[in-house]
Amino acid sequence: MISVKKAISIIESKSIKLSIKKIDLPNSLGYSLAEDVISKINIPPFDQSAMDGYAIAMHKNSEYKLIGKIKAGQNSSLKLHPGECARIFTGAKVPSGADCVVKQEITDITKENTINIKDSISKFDNIRFKGEQIKIGQKAIKKGTYINTGTIGFAATLGKAELSVYSKPKVKIIATGSELISPGTKLTEGSIYESNTFTLKAALNTSNFNSISIEKVEDNYENTKNKIQNAINDNDVILITGGISVGEYDFVKEILAEIGVNEGFYKIKQKPGKPMFFGYKKEKLIFALPGNPASALTCFYSYVLPALNFMSGRSDYQLEKRVLTLQSSYKKNIKMTHFLKGLAINDGVSILEKQSSAMLSPFINGNCLIIFEENREKWKAGDKVEALILPQ
């Protein structure tokens, strides 16, 4: 068995970023940038009004002569001199000679084409200056940035119609076990409803991995071998659930060796999820996860998802970790890392009930995995712990 830290290191050493492609901006959500985005324009492209009001050329009096109107989108050649103003609207180009924009709420029209300012004003008030957000030639968005809503909006502001991104991995999920039947069918004696493929697919979709295929296979050596071999041929990452422990029908590890998969490690000093296998064949990654649902999902978040993020070119590929205050005491075997389902609220974290490796229900309300490290035995309420924050 190896440590959690060593397992992460081995997986990282075998993970390779996928190919680069161009993609239309509206379809880029959930990808990661494969190159820096350099701005070809100033944002804003001109001195811009931040609100509806009046652009004024300041002088000593509170009254200003109104000499024009400037709308958003209008290329006005208007020039102001001291004591003059122009009606202006949010987003419009500030005219030459203007010192500031005065919001309309602090003005009165005292007579025809004259306004009076009722409050104090300062130079440069309510003006967004040319290049204030980004200047021509500046790095606007870094390579490796995960493309979210804000990224798409900012790229559109820069005039980008498409982006250069890393491809995302094709993932195959294979559930093994003759006892597994599909939800919606009648449950027979000795059978259980198969949940791992549903859970893993949902977890993948939540993190914007959508190129997923699923197969279920009974405990048959040759059939299982064929399914796994075909999956490796056609996909970038293979997730196998079950068949990896030490039972009579747990022959996944033997099959992987037979078809030429190189072993990265087998078994991790952790609970749940100890009997996990990681291997690779050329640039393909193979994760054989425990069959117990909570174990499989714990291993997915701890090891699989960071690898998928890395392959997709994401710079922040590891899940977020927070240091939180434990709300109750905990004791464990000093030789194992424990991952417990938890609920993080503000700076505190609570251990949820039903921590068995077969129980998925705590993940319904849980939002983190509390990490109780290998080389420690006891924690008391008020101690600081690390927690892995789960995508929601």
Q: pLDDT tens-digit profile of 40-77?
A: 999 999 999 999 999 999 999 999 999 999 999 999 99
- Cα distance between residue 132 and residue 155, in whole Å: 16
For residue 203, give the 3-state DSSP assignment: helix
Quote the mean pLDDT of the chain: 96
**Element housing 310 (H / E):** helix 305-311
Q: Does 321 have pLDDT greater than 80? A: yes
Q: What pLDDT sits at residue 249?
A: 67
What are the domain boundaries of the chain? 4-18+168-311, 20-42+133-166, 48-128, 321-389
List the CATH code of the domain at 4-18+168-311. 3.40.980.10
CATH entry, 20-42+133-166, from 3.90.105.10, 3.40.718.10, 3.40.1190.10, 3.60.15.10: 3.90.105.10
Q: What pLDDT sits at residue 4?
A: 98
What residues have CB less than 8 Å from 34, skipping those under 6 apart?
A: 20, 143, 164, 165, 166, 313
Q: What pLDDT sits at residue 301?
A: 98
CATH class of 321-389: mainly beta
What is the secondary structure of 13-29 as a DSSP string? HH-----EEEEEGGG-T
CATH class of 48-128: mainly beta
What residues have CB less than 8 Å from 126, skipping those under 6 apart?
A: 49, 50, 51, 53, 100, 101, 102, 103
Q: Name residue, tokens 């993932």.
A: 171
| Residue 243 or residue 355, greater confidence | 355
Q: Does 250 have pLDDT greater than 90? A: no
Q: Does 246 have pLDDT greater than 80? A: no
How is the beta sheet containing 63-70 ordered, strand by strand?
100-103, 53-56, 84-88, 63-70, 114-117, 107-111
Mean pLDDT of the 324-341 span: 96
Q: Name residue, tokens 């009165």.
A: 108
Q: What pLDDT sits at residue 358?
A: 86
- Cα distance between residue 52 and residue 43, in whole Å: 20
**CA–CA–CA angle 146, 152, 156 (5° rounding):** 145
Q: What pLDDT sits at residue 344?
A: 98
Q: Does 299 have pLDDT greater than 70? A: yes
Percent above pLDDT 90 for the chain: 91
Mean pLDDT of the 130-135 span: 97
| pTM for the predicted model, two decimal places | 0.91
- Cα distance between residue 324 and residue 319, in whole Å: 15
What's the token pair of residue 226?
């064929």
Q: Tens digits of per-residue pLDDT, 371-383?
A: 999 999 999 999 9
Q: What pLDDT sits at residue 68?
A: 96
- Please choose, from the candidates 341, 322, 189, 212, the residue with its C-alpha nearest in 3D space to the C-alpha of residue 272: 341
Q: What pLDDT sits at residue 287?
A: 98
Q: Does 85 have pLDDT greater than 70? A: yes
Q: Tens digits of per-residue pLDDT, 198-236?
A: 999 999 999 999 999 999 999 899 999 999 999 999 999
Q: Does 347 have pLDDT greater than 70? A: yes
**Element housing 386 (H / E):** strand 384-389
Beta-sheet strands, E only, within 121-243: 127-128, 139-141, 162-166, 171-176, 180-181, 192-193, 212-217, 237-241
Peptide bond into 290 cis (omega under 30): no
Percent above pLDDT 70 for the chain: 99
The rounded Cα 260 to chain-centroid distance in angstroms is 34
Q: What pLDDT sits at residue 390?
A: 98
Mean pLDDT of the 103-126 span: 94
Mean pLDDT of the 343-361 span: 95
For residue 380, give the 3-state DSSP assignment: coil
| Ramachandran sector of residue 77 (left: φ over 0; alpha: ψ -120 to 50; beta: rest) | alpha
Pairing of strands 284-289, 270-271: unpaired
